[in-house]
Amino acid sequence: MKNESIDVKIDAVRARTIPSCPSDLESRVLRRIRLSTKEQSSDVALFPRLAPICFAAVIAVVVSAGTSLRFATQSRKSIHDRQQARTALNFDVFHNDAFKAGHRSSR
Task: Measure the CA–CA gap between 54 and 61, rounded to whole angstroms.
Answer: 11
Q: How far apart are the first and last CA of the chain?
A: 109
For residue range 16-67, what is the model confidence (pLDDT) as tens digits? 888 888 888 888 888 888 888 776 665 555 666 777 888 899 999 999 998 8
Angstrom distance (rounded) from CA 53 to CA 34: 31
pLDDT at 91: 65
Specify the length of the chain in residues. Answer: 107
Nearest to 11 by CA among 2, 22, 3: 3
**54 vs 37: CA distance, rounded Å:** 25
Which residues, 6+ apart, have CB-to-CB distance to 92 below 8 Å? 86
Q: pLDDT exceeding 90 applies to what percent of the chain?
A: 9
CA count, 13 A, side-chain hemisphere, 86: 11
How many Å apart are CA 34 and CA 17, to the nearest integer? 32
Distance in angstroms (rounded) separating the CA atoms of residues 56 and 62: 10
pTM: 0.34
